[in-house]
Amino acid sequence: MTDGPGGRRPAERAWRHEAACVIARFRLTPKSTKEAVDGLVETPDGPAFQARVRAIPEDGAANRALEELVARWLGLAKHSVSLAKGGKSRLKSLRISGDPGALDGLLQDRISQFRK
């Protein structure tokens, strides 16, 4: 990571830009009583969104539920969100298709809602 202005390191985010998408980290809790994205948590890989789904982690059900939850949370079509990495792990990377700049603004907006 490179230093930003004034020698400060830029704040890490729970997502990174790629061509025509962003890759966002989520820490998933399956078998929850609710379905929600609750905030940000620190993980060994850096910050991640904390998500909870009712589905059980069997036959990919929790992964599919996470994809659907994130699409609803961001107001995007279901096909815009797909699992990129972490199929059998609690820490997932999701590919969110679209303009990276617009998605960046959308994710920043969702983070600001956690602070209210």
Tens digit of each residue's pLDDT (9 = 90 or more) over 53-92: 999 999 999 999 999 999 999 999 999 999 999 999 999 9
Q: Given this model, what pLDDT does residue 114 score?
A: 84
The verdict on residue 16 lying in a domain is no
Beta-bridge partners for 85: 93
Percent of the chain with pLDDT over 90: 84
What are the structure tokens assigned to 78, written together? 């279901």
Structural domain of 61: 23-114
How far is residue 34's CA from residue 55's CA, in Å, rounded to a whole number? 10
Q: Confidence band (pLDDT; 50, 70, 90) for 5? A: very low
**Angstrom distances, CA of residue 55 to CA of 12, 28, 76, 93, 106:** 30, 11, 21, 18, 26
Cβ-in-10-Å burial (0-12, 13-18, 19+) of 95 comes to middle
pLDDT of residue 115: 73
Q: Is residue 68 part of a domain?
A: yes
Number of domains in the chain: 1
Within a domain: 5: no
- Pairwise CA distance, residues 19 & 52, whole Å: 28
DSSP letter, residue 55: S
In a domain, 72, yes or no: yes
Mean pLDDT value across residues 10-22: 87
